[in-house]
């Protein structure tokens, strides 16, 4: 599938400070894409450039192969939901959602075409009159011919205008269309029956859904979401993650979502774009990003990690903590310095003498669904997530499978 949105070598500077460094990104139609990274990484700047709120210093932004950088925000096929929903407190839910349709003149294009036709007609009439005014022979035949042509042009103009006016939507019919569309999108976001509810009577999650319905009702091709869940409490934020993904599927459009929360990104996304210091670090599916981080930053930012420096001895064999260990990685130079990732949930605490390295249980913290146990070995402390309790001071071994080791280049 061809890219629907393309960013090519996009850069941005503010006050001589570089905030985006050559961003290259492709987004497909109907994808849920998350721009993920810490504060100041450039994710919101990237979103605002796509939406037309910020002009880049350099590069291209293409929609369906067409550069849209000269298009103002209101002419782009996008709509935006901000962290602050900007709902109108004096309007009920129905009118908040309907607002975009009410300010949009459904007959605007036809009216513009009528104006253009009148301008063309006037130009043609002026050209005919010029012929008569500059005819030195004062030919009666020419005057009659021009008169006939003027009449034919006028009749054609009147008919064209009549045809266009026939496409006009009456106010009554437009109100019916508004009611149908508001009902459709409120149902889509799970607020069917809330039409007459005051905004002040809604919960944070309900206000979030009203803002999304209002953004969707004008049927943009792309919905931009700038950390819209940040103001919600944890439980509601988790519920909204699933709802947003379902809304995106129902709407059948592209969502570009900005967040610093890796759980949100992993839960909702088809594609995650990890950013840091104005650069894209890695692009991939949630599974790829989590299981195959490209560097130390991504491994640390996505989930919890034990990151170890080591040496790649040869294909499928890596050295760290004084031992050689089998792995599934290949393609590195012999004796190349590498970083190794061992996820806490991939490590097993086993009886002393039965594992790969030995240590002592240094601390135990109950996290609800698992224990977080730090095991102090000769070279470092490893964090382990397990459902089995181990007492502090207990001597244990750590064990893992070759596929649990992930080897990365050192950046």
Q: What gap in Å lies between CA 80 and CA 24, rounded to an integer?
A: 22
pLDDT at 112: 79
Alpha helices by DSSP H, listed for 134-195, are 140-165, 171-188
pLDDT at 353: 94
Cβ–Cβ under 8 Å, residues 199 and 88: yes
pLDDT at 5: 95
Alpha helices by DSSP H, listed for 78-227, are 93-103, 108-133, 140-165, 171-188, 204-216
Q: What gap in Å lies between CA 54 and CA 32, rounded to an integer?
A: 22
- The encoded tokens of residue 212 equal 């999304």
pLDDT at 176: 86
Backbone angles phi, psi at 31, to 5 degrees: -90, 150
What is the CB neighbour count within 10 angstroms for residue 174? Answer: 17
- The radius of gyration of the chain from alpha carbons, rounded to an integer in Å, stands at 31
Helix or strand holding residue 34 (H, E): strand 32-36
Quick one: CA dihedral 23, 24, 29, 31, positive or negative?
negative
Distance of CA 184 to the CA centre of its chain: 23
Cβ–Cβ under 8 Å, residues 325 and 347: no
Spatial neighbors of 399 by CB under 8 A, at least 6 apart, are: 347, 348, 349, 350, 354, 355, 356
Give the CB-side neighbour count of residue 232, counting CA atoms within 13 A: 23
Mean pLDDT by 10-residue block, N- to C-terminus, for the chain (411 residues)?
89 93 96 96 97 96 93 91 83 92 70 83 84 74 82 86 75 83 92 93 88 91 91 83 91 95 94 97 96 94 94 97 96 96 97 96 95 97 96 97 96 83
pLDDT at 8: 97
Q: Collapsing DSSP states into helix, strand and coil, what is residue 27?
A: strand
Distance of CA 175 to the CA centre of its chain: 32
Query: How far lies 344's CA from each of 131, 234, 364, in Å?
Result: 88, 23, 13
pLDDT at 161: 82
Cβ–Cβ under 8 Å, residues 246 and 270: no
Which pTM value belongs to this model?
0.80
pLDDT at 136: 67
Q: What gap in Å lies between CA 252 and CA 184, rounded to an integer?
A: 14
pLDDT at 107: 62
Q: Collapsing DSSP states into helix, strand and coil, what is residue 306?
A: strand
Quick one: 31 exposed, middle or buried, by C-beta within 10 A (0-12, 13-18, 19+)? Answer: buried
Helix or strand holding residue 301 (H, E): helix 296-301
In the DSSP assignment, the letter for residue 253 is S
């Amino acid at each position: 599938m061809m890219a629907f949105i393309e960013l090519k070598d996009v850069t941005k500077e503010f006050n001589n400070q570089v905030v985006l460094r050559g961003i290259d990104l492709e987004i497909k139609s109907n994808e849920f894409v998350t721009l993920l990274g810490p504060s100041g990484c450039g994710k919101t700047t990237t979103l605002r450039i796509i939406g037309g709120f910020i002009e880049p210093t350099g590069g291209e932004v293409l929609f369906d192969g067409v550069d849209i950088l000269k298009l103002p925000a209101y002419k782009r096929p996008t709509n935006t939901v901000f962290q602050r929903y900007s709902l109108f407190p004096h309007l009920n839910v129905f009118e908040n959602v309907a607002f975009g349709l009410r300010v949009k003149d459904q007959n605007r294009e036809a009216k513009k075409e009528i104006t253009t036709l009148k301008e063309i007609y006037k130009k043609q009439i002026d050209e005919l009159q010029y012929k008569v005014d500059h005819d030195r022979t004062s030919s009666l035949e020419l005057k009659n011919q021009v008169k006939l042509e003027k009449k034919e042009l006028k009749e054609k103009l009147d008919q064209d205008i009549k045809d266009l006016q026939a496409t006009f939507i009456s106010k009554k019919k437009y109100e019916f269309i508004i009611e149908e569309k508001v009902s459709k999108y409120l149902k889509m976001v799970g607020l069917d029956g809330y039409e007459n509810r005051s905004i002040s009577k809604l919960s944070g999650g309900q206000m979030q859904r009203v803002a999304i319905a209002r953004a969707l009702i004008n049927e943009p091709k792309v919905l931009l979401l700038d950390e819209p869940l940040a103001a919600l409490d944890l439980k509601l934020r988790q519920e909204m993650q699933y709802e947003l993904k379902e809304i995106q599927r129902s709407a059948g459009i592209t969502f570009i979502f900005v967040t610093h929360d890796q759980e949100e990104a992993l839960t909702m996304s088809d594609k995650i774009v990890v950013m840091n210091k104005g650069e894209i670090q890695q692009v991939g599916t949630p599974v790829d990003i989590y299981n195959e981080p490209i560097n130390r930053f991504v491994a640390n930012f996505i989930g919890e990690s034990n990151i170890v420096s080591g040496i790649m001895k040869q294909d499928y064999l890596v050295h760290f903590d004084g031992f050689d260990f089998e792995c599934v990685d290949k393609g590195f130079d012999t004796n190349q310095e590498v970083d190794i990732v061992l996820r806490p949930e991939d490590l097993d605490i086993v009886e002393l003498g039965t594992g790969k390295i030995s240590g002592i249980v240094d601390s135990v913290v109950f996290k609800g669904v698992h224990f977080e146990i730090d095991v102090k070995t000769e070279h470092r402390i490893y964090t382990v997530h397990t459902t089995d309790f181990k007492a502090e001071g207990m001597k244990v071994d750590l064990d893992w499978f070759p596929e649990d080791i992930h080897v990365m280049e050192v950046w």
